[in-house]
Structure 1
């Protein structure tokens, strides 16, 4: 009997004829029996516990996954069938129908533990060989998955992400409604402003129109007066002329003489009247627009602008891996929209996508971290005060992993990095250190040392520290202020009047956002440390803060030991803070 891809051994040829159909074989190839005609057994695999035909026997020796299996030839193989596992494998094989995404004509049958990848035959042969990866046949390892911990954890993760999506969708719906409502108010304000402009322009227009009309009335009045005078003169002179002509014709010399003398006097009087009338100045006018208004209108590019109000979003940072309520004590930003979060209560470092607001990875530590800083675009440094160490962490492709550690000579608190230097605060020891990334201490600044030199204590309990080209910024919970040092550790600015300054974040212009956990506010200190103003209030115990200049966004954690507050980061879009 010919089977595509398989050739029966010659020694079995006569047996095949004498035994009849392949269904009569007492010992047959179990793999072939599951997917095709029944063929006589040629050997036996003690690892798979299956009889094999000659073709399967030879292929078994060459296949990556089975090349090291123990095989028995036909003389040493068991002479009875072992069928205990066949029903399970047959059932499992019926379910293995999912095509491989990479090799579309192959079906997924294997799992690589090293790469956590589902594989087909081609994947195993070409990329995940037995010498490089731990690969298992799925039916061999799938039996314990029913109602397993992994099954329950996956469902729990699905529920968590589903809840996050639903909450994010609901929050976005509310925020969108609020935004649209505010824009409706904006349209009303635009109309109102335009109406006010129109009303003012109408007033100014009426003023100019009234001035023009007044001149027109004066012109008409003067014209009427002159016209009346001229008409009266004309009429009187005509009467006098007619009378003189008549007296002259009738030879009435006496009366003519008197009339001429009267006319002479009348002419002199009328000449004065006409001369006065001729001196009236009638002017022509042009309209000269107000240059200030004209220039203003030409230079303005818009009627106004849309100013964003402070918009808040609550982001849940609790994950199924957490055993406790979150306590976010430090944050820093990495490129490509990644916010690094220190959760000291759960001894974890978390990475959050700032677009989706999902926690994409979580690194568990043996001890509670306190603060974090970005060293490079893919590397972090985290303070571990309880074991007096700084832990370096890689952050590549959304994955967090431990790297080397540095020992510190005390319980390290805040940490910040700038141009090859780590600046670390030691709250309990009242000191500040500047180190390189190899752990070499470049400078140690003790509070007592500063007091002796400058005659004043610069800090006593330096909590959080941030550094930039503008210097080193320190929040002091005991002196209740934020101080600014230059890189020689000389104080060049301080801002007090706070109750309990904690986390700080520095913007590019040198202004500082600081959490005041007792007053429940975020205060913004100007770059020259001369003034400050409350930019956010009514925050329950604000602890850590992180400013993103690119998006004008402020991230704030609240350490209130309330799961409705502590398990969330509050995101504020505040363009007005620029």
Structure 2
């Protein structure tokens, strides 16, 4: 084919294209691609985003006039791509991913400033080259084959997939727990109604309907979260397979695009941000129990309600990272101590500004605002642990007396109420609704009792317990620390064992957070936060001196921690004499 010289332009052989493009400073860096096959290297005057080609002034003018190209999108010299890299025809034209915004266009560019994939129309409208660092994908994609970023994206896909799968498991457990609680509530109702069966048919139907409505409501609320997790897992699994397949076949363009799509999915599911969004989609799963109306037993001839279906929101255990910071400490040593150090083993926080603690033979009331002890009550026996019952009522474990002493407090004073005898030397106690859980050392066991002392369930298994110490409770679960087994074990309110968490050292005092996690004092000088299902845990406070008991204030986002058995300070005090305060933030 005869080649026509164009006046003022150099004729260039095709086979010297790569050499000149990379090595000659006199040749134009960006030239007209339609003219190049004829051996004419002409400076680019513009760029056609539809054809993905640079055009000289003549081709640029003709492009606007020709019937087949007059509707194409053209970029002028100031807006066109400024680099032309020699790539193979298959590499430059092998675009298969359509633009999500412009369905008829293929993704061909990547904007480094906005970290997003683009088609030609995106570049023209929203990512002009004068303001954005836009790269033609074939110019950069080869470097991603077996790259560090390739390895990183696979790892991130795997990490987020694990988080998504764990969220799905938590969701299923929440459904199971909620349904179990509804079943228990229905069973309790059925026992209650046997006393006056003829009068309860209509009311029974109402309760059953309420249960069915709530079960359906639970499933509707959680199906959305379950579906999202499945979709994320499916998408990431597909992306991971596609990325690895494209990497093996060195299809850099598609692999690059697939990687960036996977990054978008991961960014939408980042643990620090989106996991909270997942949990905050007005998803409330409630725990239920039936509370019978006691008056109705004596007033069968009247039209009274049999009770209500009580509920409390269950929350997926929140194990997002927390930051702890030391705030201050409260001295709880008083003039009545007569030269001894404190021995604080039990604490409870009945009100945001009131802390109740056990100290050797003394029960103390601490005002958090003034950071001072405002009331004391002395016992004949050692009060080992204390639990809030309701309002201004307390339950105190008395070591050596095999009893639970119920107390009330008001106006900076304690008052002794009734005593409940138990069948052994008890250690820890926690009260919830109308039941209490008590731990025993010899023999090692845990009992779930009514407030009058009636034993409902006994857990006495040497393979589970060797030295059960302290206990904390919520609507659905009971958590017990074992000093010798070095575990925190979860039970339901029927005494059936769930999972257990290995603490790697001796656990002591426990407390429950509002979002369903458990804080535990551990002998290695740390406070750990354990997920509600006892499958995960992490250190939130460390470098402590023998932490023995802990309380959590949701209002203040503060942990109150006591110590026991520490060395004396220069001023004669020890860490035992103080309650340390730590602020936890997310």
- TM normalised by structure 1 equals 0.46
Higher share in helix: 1
- Flag the structure with larger Rg: 1
Higher share in strand: 2
- TM normalised by structure 2 equals 0.46
